[in-house]
Structure 1
């Protein structure tokens, strides 16, 4: 079984946003002019052998780029069990954000919260995040975020694992935190934080197997209970491309299973 921990089924307003210009340039693609059918996303999952994809909403200072209700609609349009929703919220009004998160989990069946700090140019230690962290603990869902440098045209400072992820994990030891995008160029910091805190995980979205930093590969191959999970950052990268060369990492069967599905099953309660 393969679970993709970081996907988007983007709206046109999200995919055409100027902040993503650098990503489209790197991939040699252009953003779509019309809304993309769900069949396209499911087809890309099939081609890469992905059984379940976690697709998220996107909220930023300008509002909803992909709303929670749109994500719920995408999940409903897909074959049963193929897509699962991850909520996002507007952090400027923390209590409204908490109520929206509750609605997404209790009524829409979403499996986690994702807030991307660089979109707000605020680190995850900002006071506006803390009510959401407490609610994630109460709801029993993970907080998914981005670590490492920022590919889109925004500052990268908010993606530092130390001090930000380390401090959040100290303040909320019960909170499950998933740091997406590996943490490069601070991958060694991210691995250290992951080893230090039992509820901190890493996902590999936005990176192909062949671009995994050596310190991440060492962690996955040498630690019998590594906490790394697979992600693509689709549609910027497909699973078929991301997983090419996986057998060359030298993972044991146990480590490979944890990477492709086991860790995600655990934290998303699948």
Structure 2
């Protein structure tokens, strides 16, 4: 049995990741009443959800409510340094939106933080499992594997971008509507002189809302988790091959090719 964790930016990302892992790796959600038996990682303003696979490997998905993962990583490594090897989080993954030019620099921030925590220099490679060594609470030298993923990988965007791309690739009529929705939102921004939809993230949400308002008006007020669960996630890796790396989240460190 092994503990792993995935840090993400928000609730929608948490739902996306959990659905992918449930569909592809057989993970099941752990009921809240079982949480007291699991490692406690305290991170301010975060939301925790626990899952387990068929081999009883445990996975914590930690929504840190933003793109600052520093407190989450600090808490995880602090915990790891206080327990024995069998209780440590052996695989740690950070998934962040590729929503602005600074997103790619977050891996540098993670490197700097890891260097400060471990007092060693660990250059991290994006979209690859990176092995580092730390001491457990009992003085054991233990290998921890870290993964840093940007989504989507080939363009600036976020989970709304992903949903639109999925729908456009699946249905040619949807693609026409999506193109019109993007044009409409662009004109709204121009006419209103940036009074509305000021950030890239707000623009992407506006495009998604405009699309659903046209093709399925009754769903425009549906919670994001309902929209996510209704999409054909089984084809996700065709559009973002990075997610295939999550298939190693429950594997022993010696089984990857770092």
| TM-score class normalised by the smaller sequence | 0.3 to 0.5
- Structure number, greater radius of gyration: 2
TM-score (norm 1): 0.34
TM-score (norm 2): 0.35
Give the number of the structure whose residues are more often strand, by fraction: 2
